[in-house]
Every structure is written in C-alpha cells, then in structure tokens.
Amino acid sequence: MKKKVVPGALVLNSVLHKMTFLPHERKFFDLFEDLADKAVEAAELLVGLGADYSKLSQISAQLEELEGEADSIVHQIIQGLFYDHTRVTEEKGDIRYFAHNLDNVIDGIEKAVVRLTFTQRQTLPEPVSEFSPIILEASKEIRTAVHCLRDMKCEEPTLEMCCVKTNELENDADKINRKWLRTLMTTPVKNPNELLERMLLREIVDILEDTMDQCEDVANILETFRLKGGI
C-alpha cells in the first residue's frame, strides 16, 4: 500500500533540509574569507621586507607557517565540497578552482621569499619592491570581493569593481615583469660570481609575475560567481 504524505510532512521535510545545509553554506563563506585574509597577511609580510630586510629569515618562517594554515583551509573546503550534495559538479569545480588559485597567491609569495634567502643581498631587490605593493593591493581587492559573496544582491557592484581593479593591477605587473626581464637578460654581468644571484633574481621575478597571474585567475572566477548570481 502506498504511503500517504500529508502536506505538513512536506513542510517539515523542507524545513529540515534547510536546517541541514544553511550552516554548511555559512561555513564555506567563513573559510573563503579566512583564506582571503591570509593572502592579504602574506602580501603585507612581503611589503614589510622593504621596511626591514634584516627580518628576512623571520618573515620567511612566518610565511611558511601561513602557507600551511592556508593549505589546511583549502583542505577543509575540498572536504566540505565532497559532502555537499546541494551543488552540481561544475559548481564544485568552480569553488575548488577558486580556493586553489587563492592558495597559490600565498604559495607564490612564500616561494619568492624563500628564494630571497638564497641570495647574498643586504637590501630588498628593486624588482621585489616594485611587485610587492601591487600584489598587496590586488590581494586586498580580492579580500573585499570575497566578502561580497555573502550578499551578492547588494554587493554585486562592489565585487565587479574589485575584479576590474585586480585585472588592471595584473596589467601593471606585466609591465614591471617585462622591464626587469629585459634588464636581467641583457645587462652584462661584471663579476662571474654575480651570475647565480642574477639567475635567482630572474626566478623571483617569474614567481612574482605568476603570483599576480593567480590573482587575476581568482578575480576571473569571482566574476563567474557574479554572473551566476552567487555560489
């Protein structure tokens, strides 16, 4: 005999469904915002090297710890997606891509600072001092945009402006990258001992440029969220 479902039971099931997944949604937003905050913190540490380069080893250690914390947040996001049955595979892929690229911003900053510890310089290299404020500004724009995700209806214009600004900053970083690659690749090395440091500096420039590319990728996926009306 087919079991009869009364209207009250349907309403109760609907309420229970919402109670099950609404806290899950809030947890995702918390994790996104925590990750964006850590990206800003990493960029601030990079900028801080310009004020006191003697703290290079200390800041490198701080960034290593920060990078580990960011990896933990990404793991929580991925685990949350695994158990989230309210989203289709494409939506999960967008969120995973977003989280990994934002984590890559932190990874890139940490990697560049590690390379700095390999050099014999006593002051922050000029290419890094030019890249670092742009990366900080981009990470702040991303953080603002991420905080808009909780209320897309009200914050959509702000999110859009943040994404546009991040793309503009990436274009500025491209110009810095081209300038320094030309300098590093064409300026003769006076002392053969300088060759290793020149190679390290070239790698650092590449890493910082890639870090800004990751910022642009994050902005692009945030634009995808905006077009879809949320996450």
CA 40 to chain centroid, in Å, comes to: 8
Task: Please write the tens of the pLDDT for every residue from 102-130.
Answer: 999 999 999 999 999 998 888 999 999 99
Task: Please write the tens of the pLDDT for every residue from 11-31.
Answer: 444 433 333 333 345 677 899
Residue 139 lies in a domain: yes
Task: Please write the tens of the pLDDT for every residue from 92-101.
Answer: 767 888 999 9
Residue 6 lies in a domain: no
Residue 62 lies in a domain: yes
Residue 170 lies in a domain: yes
Tokens 């209806």 locate to 153
Instruction: Give the chain's mean pLDDT.
Output: 85
Residue 85 lies in a domain: yes
- Residue 90: CB atoms within 10 A of its CB come to 9
Domain span holding position 167: 26-228
Whether the per-residue pLDDT at 207 is higher than 60: the answer is yes
What pLDDT was estimated at residue 11? 41
Res. 189 pLDDT band, cuts 50 70 90: confident
Residue 20 lies in a domain: no
What letter does residue 88 receive in the DSSP assignment? -
Residue type, 25: E
Whether the per-residue pLDDT at 158 is higher than 50: the answer is yes
Whether the per-residue pLDDT at 8 is higher than 70: the answer is no
Residue 138 lies in a domain: yes
Task: Please write the tens of the pLDDT for every residue from 52-78.
Answer: 999 999 999 999 999 999 999 999 888
**CATH code of the domain containing 67:** 1.20.58.220
pTM value?
A: 0.84
Alpha carbon separation from 1 to 5, 6, 8, 14, 88 (Å, rounded): 13, 15, 20, 24, 34
Res. 9 pLDDT band, cuts 50 70 90: very low
40-54 burial string, b = 16+ CB within 10 Å, else e?
bbbbebbbbbeeebe
| Rounded distance between C-alpha atoms, residue 4 and residue 165, angstroms | 57
**What is the count of structural domains for the chain?**
1
What pLDDT was estimated at residue 66? 97
Residue 11 lies in a domain: no
